[in-house]
Structure 1
Amino acid sequence: MIYKRENPYFCSMLSINNLSYYIGGRALYENASLHIKPKDKIGLVGLNGTGKSTLLKIINGDYQPSKGEIQKSKDCTIGFLNQDLLSYQSDDSILDVALEAFKETLGLQAEIDAVLKQMETDYSEEIIHKLANLQERFEANEGYTIKAKAEEVLEGIGFATKDLVRPLRTFSGGWRMRVMLAKLLLEKPSLLMLDEPTNHLDLPSIQWVENYLKTYEGAVIVVSHDQTFLDNCIETTVEVSRQTLTPYAGNYSFYKEEKVEREEIQQNAYENQQKMIKDTERFIERFRAKASKSNQVQSRVKALERMERVNEVVSDNISVNFKFKFSKQSGRDVVTLDQVSKAYGDITILDNTSARIERGDKIALIGANGKGKSTLLRIIDGSEKIDGQRQEGYNVVKSFFAQHQLEALNVNNEILQEMVQAGSDKTETELRNVLGCFLFTNDDVFKKIKVLSGGEKSRVALAKTLISEANFLLLDEPTNHLDMQSVNILIQALEQYEGTFITVSHDRHFIKGVANKIWYIEDHEIKEYPGTYDEYMLWRSQQDEKTDAPAVKKEKVTKPKPVRNDGEVNQAKKDLKKKERELEEIEDSIMKLEEEKAGLEKQLADPAVFQDEEQSQKVNKAYEELRGKEQSLTAQWEQIAEEIQELQEVVS
């Protein structure tokens, strides 16, 4: 949804004036300016390395500008959530850490407690008056509600009520970051700065933070790669590009459309100016030696010197033409789960649930953290022990991407070397093309893995996954550490992928771009919605509006496994071998047809054939005949693959 703000007038709360900031000899900012008003909701966007996080640290006072100044009003308070807070530790409970947001109120509470202690022996009028004054100030600060507020915010961003008393030290870095976010939200600074706040949040928590920020009374600056999050909670987009800050008066979707229009105008202006410059230079060159034209020549020379040059538009968008290659095509059923249960001690993840993944499924597995999404992915992979049955289909070739695979990269390898060792048959040129899709160009491919950032390592691991020639991909949070450009590249790659995949992700822009089915875990069961994410959300909202009583859950009946005698099993083994030979013969025939088709495609692309109508029709006819044969053989292949799967069940 595109949102354009009305842009009401407010006095600036914080002004960035002619800011320049240098790292070594490189200018990160050059004479950049920005004015932030009291209720602005700003999204800071741009490619990695352009200086978004650096700008927040300059505003916060962590870094000093090389030139220029930052002015802020006397009543401007700043709260800054950044990744450095991951290392913060405390033995206090997370509720007490969040309550530190109310320092003044907690100080009043301590004074009240001290006065009450004193009143055990001193009943003087002065002490009673002091207590009444403190209690009046405590109530004015809404001191009796601060605990409830802290609990509401902590539970809103995903903490269970029972966990609020646990020490902060016992939580992982991502959960500690949530506590620091809760503390900042409770402090309510007049300028709230959030650097990648969704990195450690699940989908319900992201949506809660969105709703909170929409009604936040102060100003907000957000750096985020989550495009849907930006669309839902900002009103102004500021692009960091070419050492400057360019504001757009709308949310991220508005910015994308407006940028296209601006770039079109700029490119037209550039081309017109270039034409004028060439015409002027030709005039100067032609009449330079003529005395009668000397004044006109000098006038044009000075005009060129004074001219403010329009820059050519350099597009940040990258189109991906990523050709996937399968060594094998999977059967119709990729993975089947039947009456599966999984628990860790007293914690039940799945209970007697079933599901099926079919060839061509593009599944997004969504939901809150702690529901078992990654566990389910490992169950589908076959690497997690379960109660129940997991059946993998015929000719399934898997490739599993998860964050721990970043650690499996050989840190002493160069990027290209790591790709070569991934085991595909691609040439160096093909691998370079793949790496180019993931923003590794020219000499970048010779960088050592050990010098790469987390995002760069993610891109290498993803590239390795996609060249594996697998026909079934399992992707666990593939967009973590990726910038917007990289996420869009991954979406384009998966749109061209003709195999099957299931992905766990909290990135709604990514899910919208790739999924044709939605899975979620509810009541320890795998539930499926057979449509896109937008369709699922519409259906979900309609379900929430229904007031009908919930349907009675049907009791599941476990099907007994049929008992086979030796004769049936032996016959099945013979039939299985026969069917496998038939399948191989069909595969060989399909490969030959594909080679013939490739030859005809080359002929069709030949200008000589294209211009010869009779020859062109002849080649087209032969091509269509081959396509018909291929479709017929593919149907036979699918039928035999299903028969083989049934025979394998009998044999096993």
Structure 2
Amino acid sequence: MSDASSPPSGGQDILSADHRSAHLLAENLHCVLGDREVLRDVSLTVSRGERVGLIGENGRGKSTLLRALAGALTPQRGQVVRAVTGQVGFLPQQPEFPADSTIEDVLAQATAEIGELSARMRAAEERMSCDEGDLDAVLEEYGRLQEEFARRGGWELGARIGEVLDVFGLAGLDRARRIRTLSGGERTRLALASLVLTEPAGLLLDEPTNHLDDRAVDWLVQWLASYQGPCLIASHDRALLDTAVTAIVDLDGPKGSTVRYGGGYRDYLDERAAARERWWQRYREWSRDLAEARRRLHRARAGSRVFAGRGDNDKLSYNAMGSAAEAAVARRTRAAQQHLRELLQEAVPPPPEPLDFASPQATDPADEVQEPTDGVLLRATGLKVGEVLRGADLALAAGSRHVISAPNGAGKSTLLSVLAGERAPDAGVVECAPGLRIGYLPQDSDFGAERRGLLEAFAARRAAHVEDAAAELTRFGLFGPEDFGTPANRLSVGQWRRLELALLFARRPHLLLLDEPTNHLSLVLVEQLLEAVERFTGPVVMVTHDRALRERHRDRLLELSDGRLLGPAGPAPRA
């Protein structure tokens, strides 16, 4: 039995009085893992018929919240309630199965309730054939069993199992095969297939589209659209979030906040944009108030200097009226000081700058690339590497955009590493325009061997002064000063990706080579990065499995097939 069908062990299970009141509830959950506070007083309710997309920065507790709701983890404090009639299905990112279980065992467990109905129907048929007991009562029971069996799809069960296994790429596997011999992707797809066949009363899904191809994702989205129980889905799949969910919840677990947005992913983006504009408006108003408060204080102090500069003759003529005026000036000075102090205590910081490849030193002649007469900044000819590249050609001119698609293992990452100069080809040549700076984002970011603090490590890689490095790190809001001292090897995978991005932007590249650029980034950061890429005027080559990104650039797709790059109608374009 997998995690996907294990009974919950934590929280409270109650039968909802009415199926319409079914819900999943987390109230003031506080979870600490090791020495790290992951969730602090987080509350969330998912009602029947809701499909809530759970998003947030890496390490903010999405998986922890799902595990707590599923009963797989007991929080230090807070309450979990599963108010459903039946079982809550849970799909973790790494499902576990009992030792020595087979695919057939998992399928039998998933369809156990239908199997039990079938056994009870056979028993009733035997009683009828043997004329045992009250025949009318047996017939009535048999009718009820048949009705429930049909409602649960029992007559089509075999075909249903075959369809689900086929769509998740498992149809070709021997059902007697041991689960331990399956790959990680196959185990995840089997756990998801088990959930679909079980049709539990509630669903908790952690990155369900991992390891799914486009066909399986489309099928899953359709199935979720008809699902009626409460459903919470942690996902970075923008296509899934835009088509399958009814609301978005943005989680910031350590800060104890869950912000709910109505509608799908596009609605969420619109609301985020509106919230950012409101932030800018608050900042502008605060800045105006601050400037006015400083002017008031300056005027008040100027007035006080008039009295402070009285000569002896003025002092002799000083009377009660003058004393009152001086007191009024002093009060205005104190009021202006107090107002200024309050504004500074409630400072509104400006929103981070949007990610942008535009260089603040774009007018520096040293930043200019010497563009050849044919406009080609990088030309690759006849690239060969082992068995994956067998004569790949590509020419990149200013403004060109290409998205490379191919199955895993086809050589996409190898190609980008060769174009970036990180790896030498076995044959072929890569020619670059003089002065060309290439911005290369590898598929995986690994700073596990870097023991220096974040700021020091960044400054060393940039060969920059610490002050300049700090400005570059904070410019786009990728990191704050509170992160600077954290050893780089203790950052999360998502933070490693942010550090890689900071290095990429700081390089001020003329050409971009991006390998799975949406991996390990929050959805907000993904959108900002892709908008920056759209504004970038140099050539761009991206390798991605992101369906939304491929759809956006469907007219610029190149396929890496049999070691060569092919466009929509043949070899890749050559300038």
TM-score (norm 2): 0.64
- How far, CA to CA, are the matches of 2:505 and 2:216 in structure 1? 30
Q: Does 1:61 align with 2:71?
A: yes
- How far, CA to CA, are the matches of 2:272 and 2:204 in structure 1? 24
CA contact (8 A) 1:336 1:390 kept: yes
Query: Equivalent of 1:255, from 259, 268, 278?
Result: 268
CA contact (8 A) 2:28 2:42 kept: yes
CA contact (8 A) 1:20 1:32 kept: yes
Q: What do the CA deviations read for 1:423-449 (whole angstroms, capped 9, x no partner)?
A: x44443333233223622214122112
Q: Does 1:401 align with 2:431?
A: no
- Other-structure match for 1:12: 21
- Other-structure match for 1:83: 93
- How far, CA to CA, are the matches of 2:103 and 2:550 in structure 1? 32
Q: Does 1:445 align with 2:445?
A: no
Q: Does 1:236 align with 2:247?
A: yes
Q: 1:212 to 1:366 in 2, by over 3 A?
A: farther
CA contact (8 A) 1:317 1:485 kept: no
Q: What do the CA deviations read for 1:284-337 (whole angstroms, capped 9, x no partner)?
A: xxxxxxxxxxxxxxxxxxxxxxxxxxx998887652355558575565052345
CA contact (8 A) 2:406 2:559 kept: yes
Q: What do the CA deviations read for 1:45-104 (whole angstroms, capped 9, x no partner)?
A: 34445543333233222344666644443514211122342x658655657645542234
**Equivalent residue runs for 1:479-558 within 5 Å:** 479-495=518-534, 497-510=536-549, 517-521=556-560, 526-528=565-567
| 1:334 partner SS | strand
- How far, CA to CA, are the matches of 1:425 and 1:266 in structure 2? 35
- How far, CA to CA, are the matches of 2:274 and 2:19 in structure 1? 28
Q: Does 1:461 align with 2:472?
A: no
- How far, CA to CA, are the matches of 1:259 and 1:469 in structure 2? 28
Q: What do the CA deviations read for 1:8-44 (whole angstroms, capped 9, x no partner)?
A: x98331253753536489794548453x332211122
Q: Does 1:195 align with 2:233?
A: no
CA contact (8 A) 2:402 2:557 kept: yes
- Other-structure match for 1:335: 379
- How far, CA to CA, are the matches of 1:50 and 1:259 in structure 2? 18
Give the deviation of 1:230 after TM superposition: 0.8
Q: What do the CA deviations read for 1:568-615 (whole angstroms, capped 9, x no partner)?
A: xxxxxxxxxxxxxxxxxxxxxxxxxxxxxxxxxxxxxxxxxxxxxxxx
Q: 1:171 to 1:400 in 2, by over 3 A?
A: farther
Q: What do the CA deviations read for 1:223-278 (whole angstroms, capped 9, x no partner)?
A: 22333321111112234355344433311222333455578789999989xx9xxx
Equivalent AA in structure 1 for residue 67 of structure 2: K
- How far, CA to CA, are the matches of 1:92 and 1:22 in structure 2? 32
Give the deviation of 1:477 after TM superposition: 1.5
CA contact (8 A) 2:456 2:466 kept: no
- How far, CA to CA, are the matches of 1:56 and 1:194 in structure 2? 8
- How far, CA to CA, are the matches of 1:95 and 1:525 in structure 2? 41
- How far, CA to CA, are the matches of 1:55 and 1:471 in structure 2? 42
CA contact (8 A) 2:118 2:149 kept: no
Equivalent AA in structure 1 for residue 235 of structure 2: S
Q: Does 1:21 align with 2:8?
A: no
TM-score (norm 1): 0.58
| 2:20 partner SS | coil
| 1:418 partner SS | helix
Q: Any stretches of 5+ residues in structure 1 without a counterpart?
A: 1-8, 276-310, 530-552, 557-641, 643-652
- Other-structure match for 1:206: 217
| 1:486 partner SS | helix
| 1:75 partner SS | coil
- How far, CA to CA, are the matches of 1:10 and 1:112 in structure 2? 26
CA contact (8 A) 1:358 1:500 kept: yes
Equivalent AA in structure 1 for residue 468 of structure 2: E
- How far, CA to CA, are the matches of 2:409 and 2:36 in structure 1? 47
Query: Equivalent of 2:355, from 315, 320, 338?
Result: 320
Q: Does 1:428 align with 2:437?
A: no
Give the deviation of 1:188 after TM superposition: 1.5
- How far, CA to CA, are the matches of 1:74 and 1:176 in structure 2? 27
**Equivalent residue runs for 1:63-462 within 5 Å:** 63-64=73-74, 69-85=79-95, 97=106, 100-105=109-114, 140=150, 142=153, 145-157=156-168, 159=169, 161-163=171-173, 167-240=178-251, 243-258=256-271, 319-324=354-359, 328-329=369-370, 331=372, 332=376, 334-337=378-381, 355-366=394-405, 369=408, 373-374=412-413, 376-377=415-416, 383=423, 391-395=430-434, 398=438, 400-406=440-446, 409-422=448-461, 424-436=462-474, 437=476, 439-462=478-501
Equivalent AA in structure 2 for residue 53 of structure 1: S
Aligned-pair identity in percent equals 26
- How far, CA to CA, are the matches of 1:247 and 1:312 in structure 2? 26
CA contact (8 A) 1:17 1:33 kept: yes
- Other-structure match for 2:47: 37
CA contact (8 A) 2:84 2:201 kept: no
Q: What do the CA deviations read for 1:127-150 (whole angstroms, capped 9, x no partner)?
A: 9x99xx8x9799756556545434
CA contact (8 A) 2:380 2:392 kept: no
Equivalent AA in structure 1 for residue 30 of structure 2: Y
Q: 1:337 to 1:202 in 2, by over 3 A?
A: farther
| 2:399 partner SS | coil
CA contact (8 A) 1:18 1:67 kept: no
- How far, CA to CA, are the matches of 1:312 and 1:254 in structure 2? 30
- How far, CA to CA, are the matches of 1:179 and 1:411 in structure 2? 38
- How far, CA to CA, are the matches of 2:492 and 2:85 in structure 1? 38
CA contact (8 A) 2:26 2:69 kept: no
- How far, CA to CA, are the matches of 2:172 and 2:272 in structure 1? 48
CA contact (8 A) 2:453 2:486 kept: yes
Q: 1:49 to 1:343 in 2, by over 3 A?
A: closer
Q: 1:249 to 1:463 in 2, by over 3 A?
A: closer
Q: Which has the higher contact order (CA 8 A, sep 6+)?
A: 2
Equivalent AA in structure 2 for residue 429 of structure 1: E
CA contact (8 A) 1:14 1:70 kept: no
Q: 1:368 to 1:459 in 2, by over 3 A?
A: same
- How far, CA to CA, are the matches of 1:62 and 1:356 in structure 2? 52
CA contact (8 A) 1:204 1:368 kept: no
Give the deviation of 1:499 after TM superposition: 3.5
Q: What do the CA deviations read for 1:467-513 (whole angstroms, capped 9, x no partner)?
A: 45654443222222111233234335434544433222233455577
Equivalent AA in structure 2 for residue 501 of structure 1: V
| 1:83 partner SS | coil
| 1:440 partner SS | coil
- How far, CA to CA, are the matches of 1:451 and 1:27 in structure 2? 16
CA contact (8 A) 2:358 2:508 kept: no
- How far, CA to CA, are the matches of 1:217 and 1:474 in structure 2? 43
Equivalent AA in structure 2 for residue 455 of structure 1: G
Q: 1:244 to 1:399 in 2, by over 3 A?
A: closer
Q: What do the CA deviations read for 1:201-240 (whole angstroms, capped 9, x no partner)?
A: 4445433432332233433211223333211111122343
Q: 1:161 to 1:400 in 2, by over 3 A?
A: farther
Equivalent AA in structure 2 for residue 80 of structure 1: F
When you count helix as a share of all residues, which structure comes out higher? 1
Question: What is the CA RMSD across the aligned residues, in angstroms?
Answer: 5.1
